[in-house]
């Protein structure tokens, strides 16, 4: 075996922090059986030895790394083998480490089949297989302490991992390190978790730490995580809270506290919610002022004004783009020639447009995806709220417009049906809603993803009419004056009402 898959060294202080998570009753028995799966250059082996453990084993796929460890740790039982089809002779009290992270598509062929055999789908990452294999190799009461990407908390194809964890025990600790720079070159969002293999009845609460910003160094992370866990309190580096173990009802997992309110309705009951229109070839369809001025009256029929993510200011929109929305009103290239300016512009991109992806029923000069187009046109005269589908801003950017704009592919559209649009605008831009939304599993790195699926099912608390009117009034004030100083007033009203 001399393949290396994703060797990246874990910082010493992070390994130390993970070793400190071993339960006290195990720490005192120095001879518990321990396995480091994918031991690399032995950063965990060293830490474990320093902590006094005597019954340590390590497995490593790469012959070079295995030999490196063999020299360095003569007293440790090492295996140069592939963990994913390794036949272990025993079960372990503790499995610890930093498994490789590589998506199925980037794995060598030999590993792919092993991952599929263990996880059951081709959309997996190799670390999914490491988690499942490790759960299998633990004794009852055994512990798994891994540092892995955050993705298995929400990825659809990692559901099998979440289910296996729930069915076989519970998470005792989660330390969410977000996109902190821990490794050379890559900065995936990572978390440390400690899983305990135990029968259902004895599930405990999970202790959840989340790092407050990403510039802390491993040494500080170690010290402050240990401090926060031992005091059961937040500190300047970590937020701290406890919650019950996730259940099968939790579609995704999150490290944000749950917001619970009993009286609510779903956003989709009071709003139409839909994705924007995708041209699939911006240069061809986007027009500048000069190009627009060349269009004749017939050609102007294809002109639309469109809102992109960059126009969403939060509360209001600023600017728009002109697009040529070419759809099945033009059926053939012959017909396209009837519109000389449009034809001239599109034909210059024909080669590239022909090779892009589009549905078989489309022609090369059509827009790629016009989902919801009819619906959106029917709403054109109504107030609409646009929000970037993926947003890095620190405050929500739900942006209302009463203009006849259409949404681009990078924004989600909400059309209020029964509620005052200004009430929804104020509520959706509030701090409370942002935290609630994050707790619904919408975080993607340092961004929030506003999807039709999650947004449709968000719960809106029932406020009395006076409160709704109060929120709407302030939101209108912010919208009219283009001044967000009053955002805080809405946060206060909501926090008083939802205490």
Ligand X SMILES: C[S@@+](CC[C@H](N)C(=O)[O-])C[C@H]1O[C@@H](n2cnc3c(N)ncnc32)[C@H](O)[C@@H]1O
Query: Contact positions toward ligand X, by CB under 6 A?
Result: 4-10, 38-40, 43-44, 59-62, 65, 82-84, 97-100
Contact predicate 257/243, CB 8 Å: yes
The least distance separating ligand X from the CB of residue 21, rounded to whole angstroms, comes to 15
Closest CA to 35 of 135, 182, 125, 153: 135
Nearer to ligand X, 83 or 323 (CB): 83
Nearer to ligand X, 44 or 367 (CB): 44
Nearer to ligand X, 192 or 376 (CB): 192
Nearer to ligand X, 82 or 491 (CB): 82
The least distance separating ligand X from the CB of residue 156, rounded to whole angstroms, comes to 24
- The residues near 479 (Cβ < 8 Å, ≥ 6 apart) are 315, 316, 400, 422, 425
Helices (H), 82-194: 109-119, 126-137, 159-168
Closest CA to 383 of 307, 288, 287: 307
| Half-sphere exposure in the Cβ direction for 480 (13 Å, CA) | 7
Nearer to ligand X, 181 or 243 (CB): 181
The least distance separating ligand X from the CB of residue 44, rounded to whole angstroms, comes to 6
The least distance separating ligand X from the CB of residue 261, rounded to whole angstroms, comes to 41
Matching residue, tokens 């005192």:
28
Nearer to ligand X, 38 or 470 (CB): 38
Strand order of the β-sheet with 286-287 is 286-287, 321-324, 303-307, 406-407
Contact predicate 445/179, CB 8 Å: yes
Displacement of CA 425 from its chain's centroid (Å): 24
The least distance separating ligand X from the CB of residue 28, rounded to whole angstroms, comes to 25
Residue 3: is it exposed, middle or buried by C-beta count within 10 angstroms (0-12/13-18/19+)? exposed
The least distance separating ligand X from the CB of residue 158, rounded to whole angstroms, comes to 18
CA distances from 414 to 75, 196, 424 (A): 63, 43, 10
Please state, in angstroms and rounded to a whole number, the distance separating the CA atoms of residues 27 and 170.
Answer: 20
What is the CB neighbour count within 10 angstroms for residue 345? 20
| Half-sphere exposure in the Cβ direction for 380 (13 Å, CA) | 10
Nearer to ligand X, 118 or 287 (CB): 118
The least distance separating ligand X from the CB of residue 18, rounded to whole angstroms, comes to 9
Nearer to ligand X, 59 or 458 (CB): 59
Nearer to ligand X, 99 or 416 (CB): 99
The least distance separating ligand X from the CB of residue 85, rounded to whole angstroms, comes to 8
Closest CA to 78 of 31, 115, 44: 44
The least distance separating ligand X from the CB of residue 82, rounded to whole angstroms, comes to 4
DSSP conformational letter for 186: -
384-413: burial string, b at 16+ Cβ within 10 Å, e else: bbbbbbbbeeeebbbbbbeeebbbbbbbbb
């Amino acid at each position: 075996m001399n393949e290396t898959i994703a060797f990246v060294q874990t910082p010493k202080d992070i390994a130390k922090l993970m070793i400190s998570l071993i339960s006290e009753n195990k720490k005192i028995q120095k001879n518990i059986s321990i396995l480091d799966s994918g031991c690399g250059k032995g950063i965990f082996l060293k830490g474990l030895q320093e902590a006094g453990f005597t019954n340590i084993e390590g497995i490593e796929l790469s012959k070079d790394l295995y030999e490196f460890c063999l020299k360095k740790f003569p007293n440790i039982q090492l295996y140069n083998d592939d963990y994913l089809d390794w036949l272990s002779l025993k079960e372990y009290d503790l499995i610890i480490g930093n498994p490789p992270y590589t998506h199925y598509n980037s794995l060598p062929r030999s590993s792919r089949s092993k991952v599929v055999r263990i996880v059951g789908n081709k959309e997996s990452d190799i670390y999914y297989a490491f988690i499942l294999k490790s759960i299998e190799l633990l004794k009852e009461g055994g512990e798994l302490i891994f540092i892995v990407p955050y993705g298995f908390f929400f990825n659809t194809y990692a559901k099998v991992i979440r289910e296996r964890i729930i069915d076989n025990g519970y998470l005792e600790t989660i330390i969410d390190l977000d996109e902190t720079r821990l490794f050379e070159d890559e900065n995936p969002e990572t978390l440390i978790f400690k899983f305990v293999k135990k029968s259902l009845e004895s599930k405990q609460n999970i202790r959840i730490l989340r790092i407050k910003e990403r510039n802390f160094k491993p040494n500080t992370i170690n010290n402050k995580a240990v401090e926060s866990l031992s005091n059961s309190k937040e500190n300047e580096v970590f937020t701290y809270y406890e919650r019950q173990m996730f259940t099968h009802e939790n579609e995704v997992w999150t490290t944000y506290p749950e917001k619970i309110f009993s009286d609510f309705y779903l956003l989709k009951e009071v709003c139409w919610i839909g994705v924007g229109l995708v041209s699939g070839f911006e240069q061809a369809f986007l027009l500048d002022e000069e190009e627009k001025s060349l269009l004749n009256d017939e050609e102007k029929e294809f002109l639309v004004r469109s809102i992109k993510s960059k126009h969403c200011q939060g509360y209001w929109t600023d600017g728009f783009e002109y697009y040529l929305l070419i759809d099945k009103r033009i059926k053939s290239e012959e017909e396209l020639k009837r519109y000389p300016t449009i034809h001239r512009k599109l034909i210059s991109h024909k080669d590239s447009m022909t090779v892009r992806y589009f549905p078989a029923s489309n022609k090369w000069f059509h827009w790629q995806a016009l989902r919801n187009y009819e619906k959106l046109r029917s709403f054109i005269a109504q107030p609409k709220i646009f929000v970037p589908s993926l947003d890095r801003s620190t405050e929500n950017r739900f942006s209302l417009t009463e203009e006849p704009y259409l949404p681009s592919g990078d924004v989600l559209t909400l059309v209020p049906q029964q509620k005052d649009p200004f009430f929804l605008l104020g509520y959706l831009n509030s701090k409370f809603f942002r935290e609630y939304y994050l707790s619904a599993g919408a975080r993607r790195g340092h961004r929030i993803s506003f999807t039709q699926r999650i947004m449709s099912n968000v719960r809106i608390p029932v406020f009395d009419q006076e409160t709704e009117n109060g929120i709407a009034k302030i939101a209108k004030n912010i919208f009219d004056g283009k001044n967000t100083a009053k955002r805080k007033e809405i946060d206060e009203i909501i926090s008083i009402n939802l205490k």
